[in-house]
Amino acid sequence: MNRATPVTSANLPPARTVDEHIHRRRWAILGVLVISLLVVVLDNSILNVAIKTIADPEKGLGATQSELQWAINSYTLVFAGLLFTAGILGDRFGRKRTLLFGMVIFGLASLLSAYSQNPGQLIAARAVMGFGGAFVMPATLSIISNVFEPQERPKAIGIWSGAVGLAIAIGPITGGVLLDHFWWGSVFLINVPIVLVGIVAMLLLVPDSRDPKPGRLDPIGVALSIAGLVSLVYGIIRGGDAGWGSVEVLGTIVLGLLILGFFVWFEKRSDHPALDVKFFRDPAFSAAAGAIGLVFFALMGVTFFMAFYLQSVRGYTPLQTGLLLLPLAIAQLMFSARSSVMVKRFGVRAVTTGGMLVVGLSFLSFLWMDRTSPIWILCVVFFFQGAGMAHVMPPATNSIMSSLPREKAGAGSAVSNTVRQVGGALGVAILGSVLSSVYRDRISDDLDKLPPNVPKGPAGDSVEATLAVAGRLGDKGAALVDPAKDGFIEAMHAASIGSAVVGLIGAVVVFLWMPRREAGQTAPEADRVETSAEEQRSAKV
């Protein structure tokens, strides 16, 4: 007589740790979080398209090159400096509250940016936008960790990561369309209705969560983290402008590193640390954080010089440039949510290592790009870059979040987003410096032939500056056009090698230190053996 298979822990579904009401609307909640993430990431890529218009004295604000840089950098500086603190405050006071707070500030600052009357007002408003954005991004990821069960969380984080890539790609397209029909402030004003819709949806759908045992506040640790990150990021930003040998640059970078070193020392000895630095002893946490920083270092550096290659050298409009970036976004959307399937089958180490190799090798392919290369080749390269990133960012982010208790999700999200931002800033600053240095050396002989009344220093700052001088000189400047474009191609190749090296270093880092599989994950073969053994035991009963 056959007996019923006994109920054991092996054949029971995993216990649900999320409230049933929240579990049923988890995908709607994810949609709301993606909207809030899109508006923050989208804003930066839109601004890159509007820079030339804002510099125009008639159509824009007549901003100088330095003022334009700070319109971008004021956001980055405040955003990166406060990311960690915002994540900690979300754990303590409620992630939904901090998300709503950040969205309100971001929306109001967008309105102020749109109607700025001079560059100084725009720079200040952008800094306030960075303040609001710092409370939005870590809150979205930490809410995902508290809404989704562990088995579904990798897919949700994959969708979240894909949204970042989508925003980066559609930003220039959106900006190009807006600038074709409206004034420059429309690139900021577009944020306001999106923010309003997002806030209403959050109030209706998104649940609140927090650390049930937050302990005492750590104001000294929080202050040290802000001071260290702001000093470090400021030095990195200035390094791209003033040169890496500047006393100001070296001084602020060293000061930032010293403060962050003291922060780690202080947190290790505190009985109520803002960040438990013991988390970094876990290879799944530290190697994943390193991978995220390195891949964004390489990616943001390439994105920086690609805009010049497509617009200044190849002659594409900002809108066309944005459309050419779509393959990168499409690949991320296609593969990010599916990366969890690959991780389940092959393990997190194999998937992230493979992804970093694809990213690194795709950067090397730029060495074959010149002034007349078929543009479809670039689209293919962008697609592979997006596919590679889709197999790095979601698994690495999930590895960080899975390494921490759910109540510390804000801290984990803050670390993930901070290394992403610092890595991106480093990529733009360092690879941008490589680009400028090689270009300046390559074009110097041709600039010596300019008339004595034309300043050679500013003309050699960038390919845009050289082509602008050539345009003002008319027929006399025509001889500068080809050397300028050829010089930029040579500089782009040098920066591409730098990006590829960083990407391949990332592959080595994850291969050596990333655990083969995530916590609680077993190989498919082991699952089958376990199931088979259980069936045999049941058959004998």
pLDDT score of 529: 40
Per residue in 133-150, pLDDT tens?
888 877 887 888 778 877
In angstroms, how far apart are the furthest CA atoms of the chain? 104
DSSP 310: I
Q: What angle do CA 502, 506, 507 make, to 5 degrees?
A: 120
Name, in order, each residue with C-beta under 8 angstroms of 452's C-beta and a sequence gap of 6 or more: none
CA 501 vs CA 225, 235, 240, 492, 496: distances in Å: 29, 23, 19, 14, 9
Q: What is the pLDDT of residue 183?
A: 83
Choose among 30, 87, 95: nearest CA to 412: 87
Contact 205, 32 (CB under 8 A): yes
Q: What DSSP element (H or E) covers 448?
A: none
pLDDT value of position 517: 65
Q: How many percent of the chain have pLDDT more than 70?
A: 82
So what's the pLDDT on residue 104?
Answer: 93
Report the pLDDT value the prediction gives residue 537, as an integer from 0 to 100: 38
For 24, half-sphere exposure in the C-beta direction (CA atoms, 13 angstrom radius) is: 2
Q: What residues in the chain have per-residue pLDDT under 70?
A: 1-21, 23, 44-45, 48, 52, 64-66, 69, 165, 168-169, 211-216, 240-243, 274-275, 406-411, 451-461, 517-541
- Report the pLDDT value the prediction gives residue 106, as an integer from 0 to 100: 93
pLDDT of residue 173: 77
Average pLDDT of the chain to the nearest whole number: 77
Q: Helices then strands (H, E): number in the chain?
A: 22, 0
Model pLDDT, residue 456: 62
pLDDT tens track for 8-59: 444 444 555 556 667 677 888 888 888 888 888 777 667 767 776 777 777 7
